[in-house]
């Protein structure tokens, strides 16, 4: 079991500080979703993790000791994708595996394994530039995993993949997590993060604004919130009725396409609301506790929806 901790990372470019103290941690066998809007500081954080940039202050620890990326097998898929377009797929896979510590025989076997796993083994002797964009992306992912890493860092891994290829990648990431690999990945696509990640860290303008276990965060954000819709009231009418008749119990905090999100007021509880609804003429279509999606939480935390 490995534990990677990022503590108080600060980074400036010139006079401008872009990271103002980033903190999070992740353990092996789990995936951390690094979320944030464009320019929030996700990629800079990842590049500091990978020692591409040096932090001005703060520390990165692996099992309590200073983390030196070159001493570990790390699979890193950078945001700026790129390999050698004029070299064959297998050649560059073996090259990267050897650079990361494998001997040529192991490297070749591993390269063939990952190319087959990502269903691009038929192109192994082709030059990279002759492949479609999606297949190049899969080769890039295979190159990331070719050294059988213990830590995998994926910066926007789903960008450029069609739904079929996305499913292959999802399966691979799930296998990595099952194999006790420590996975960090950044993405704008919240559905993927919800699917894989036990933990999230939301970065906004160079600061971590939300960090923790995804389930707990969702539970916390859903606490004192209810959802309600009616057969005989449109959502706008229902919202007005709630504000007019049950203002002491609940308030409308948001409107979704098919239901209202209500917030319990102090002293109120779900039973009192149910009783009030039962006494009214509202023909309840949907009523229950509300668990927000990661997208809702993200938008609430970092501003308007992207």
Please count the other Cβ atoms lying within 10 Å of the Cβ belonging to residue 107: 22
CA distance 109 to 98: 12
Q: Closer to other proteins at the Cβ: 146 or 264?
A: 146
Spell out the long-range contacts of 80-87 with Cβ–Cβ below 8 A and sequence spacing 24 or more: 81/136, 81/137, 81/140, 81/160, 82/140, 83/128, 83/136, 83/139, 83/140, 83/143, 84/128, 85/127, 85/128, 85/129, 86/127, 86/128, 86/129, 87/127, 87/128
Q: Closer to other proteins at the Cβ: 51 or 291?
A: 51
CB of 131 to other proteins, least distance (A): 14
Strand partners, 234: none
CB of 108 to other proteins, least distance (A): 14
Q: Closer to other proteins at the Cβ: 52 or 247?
A: 52
Cα 255 to the chain's mean position, in Å? 25
Q: Closer to other proteins at the Cβ: 49 or 273?
A: 49
Residue of 259, 268, 224, 217 whose CA lies nearest to 238:
259
Q: Closer to other proteins at the Cβ: 29 or 78?
A: 78
CB of 109 to other proteins, least distance (A): 17
Q: Closer to other proteins at the Cβ: 89 or 282?
A: 89
CB of 272 to other proteins, least distance (A): 57
CB of 266 to other proteins, least distance (A): 51
CB of 104 to other proteins, least distance (A): 9
CB of 100 to other proteins, least distance (A): 5
Residue of 34, 78, 51 whose CA lies nearest to 183:
34
Q: Closer to other proteins at the Cβ: 53 or 287?
A: 53
- Token pair of 262 as six digits: 């209500």
Cα 200 to the chain's mean position, in Å? 7
Give the residues lining the site for other proteins (CB under 8 A). 13, 47, 50-54, 69-70, 74, 76, 78, 80-85, 87, 91, 95-96, 98-100, 143
Q: Closer to other proteins at the Cβ: 67 or 233?
A: 67
CB of 35 to other proteins, least distance (A): 21
- Token pair of 302 as six digits: 């970092």
Half-sphere exposure in the Cβ direction for 39 (13 Å, CA): 3
Residue of 210, 213, 298 whose CA lies nearest to 23:
210
CA distance 117 to 109: 12
């Amino acid at each position: 079991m490995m534990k990677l901790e990022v503590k108080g990372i600060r980074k400036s470019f010139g006079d401008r500080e872009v990271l103002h103290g980033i903190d999070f941690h992740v353990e092996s066998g789990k995936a951390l979703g690094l979320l944030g809007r464009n320019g929030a500081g996700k990629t800079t954080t990842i590049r500091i993790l990978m020692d591409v940039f040096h932090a001005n202050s703060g520390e990165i620890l692996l099992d309590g000791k200073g983390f030196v990326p070159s001493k570990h097998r790390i699979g890193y898929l950078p945001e700026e994708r790129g390999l050698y377009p004029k070299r064959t797929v297998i050649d560059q896979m073996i090259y990267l595996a050897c650079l990361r510590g494998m001997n040529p025989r192991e490297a070749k076997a591993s390269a063939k394994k990952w190319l087959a796993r990502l269903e691009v083994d038929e192109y192994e002797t082709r030059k990279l530039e002759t492949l479609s964009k999606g297949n190049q992306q899969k080769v890039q992912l295979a190159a990331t995993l070719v050294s059988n890493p213990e830590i995998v860092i994926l910066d926007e891994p789903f960008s450029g993949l069609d739904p079929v290829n996305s499913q292959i990648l999802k399966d691979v990431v799930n296998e990595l997590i099952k194999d006790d690999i420590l996975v960090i990945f950044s993405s704008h696509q919240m559905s993927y993060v919800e699917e894989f990640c036990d933990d999230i860290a939301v970065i906004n303008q160079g600061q971590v604004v939300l960090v923790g276990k995804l389930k707990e965060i969702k539970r916390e954000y859903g606490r004192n919130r209810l959802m309600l819709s009616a057969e005989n009231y449109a959502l706008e009418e229902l919202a007005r009725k709630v504000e007019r008749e049950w203002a002491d119990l609940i308030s409308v905090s948001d409107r979704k396409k098919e239901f209202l999100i209500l917030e319990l007021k102090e002293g109120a509880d779900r039973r009192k609301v149910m009783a009030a609804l039962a006494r009214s003429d509202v023909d309840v279509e949907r009523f229950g506790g509300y668990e927000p999606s990661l997208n809702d939480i993200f938008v609430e935390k970092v501003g308007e929806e992207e």
